[in-house]
Amino acid sequence: MFISYPILAALLAPLLAQVIKIPLYYVKNRKWKLELLFSTGGMPSSHTATVVSLTTAMALMEGIQSNSFAISLILTIIVMHDATGVRRQAGRHAVVLNQMAQDFHRLVNTLKHHKMNNYEKREQLKELLGHKPLEVFFGALFGIIVAIVLYNFYPFHRL
């Protein structure tokens, strides 16, 4: 089965980025967190690794003057901006909203003088949505490395 080099690079980069998040988290926190394999946010940015790997593959295969590279580059810029901008702010908002909900339930508990278990049953908003600029930078670096390694070690891109 033939799979194009740019597609393989774009699929492999986020997979490897998600996998690498687990040992990086362990080194920093001294505990394993396997759910990072399926989560958003964190180091490195898998979204950034995806689009940068695709863009690098297009540059290597078709050159930086190609329309494919131009389209990919614009998509990459948008995704990287979104990762550090909108998605990161949404994560910050989730932190504040979760704290407000927790404070509200504490206030209700205090006023009623008994325990209220509704808060424990409520699902909190996901707080780790976006990325710090450094996480995006390393996602980009990771994407470039994946694309270059694939380009140099697998001859299928020359078919």
For the stretch 55-77, pLDDT in tens is 999 999 999 999 999 999 999 99
In sequence order, what are the residues at sequence separation of 6 or more whose Cβ sits closer than 8 angstroms to the Cβ of residue 109?
A: 115, 116
CA distance 51 to 147: 11
* Residue 108 · residue 15 · CB < 8 Å: no
Tokens standing for 71? Answer: 């389209």
SS3 assignment, position 1: coil
CA distance 33 to 55: 30
- The pTM of this model reads 0.70
For the stretch 116-148, pLDDT in tens is 455 555 566 555 556 678 888 899 999 999 999
CA distance 95 to 45: 20
* Residue 21 · residue 43 · CB < 8 Å: yes
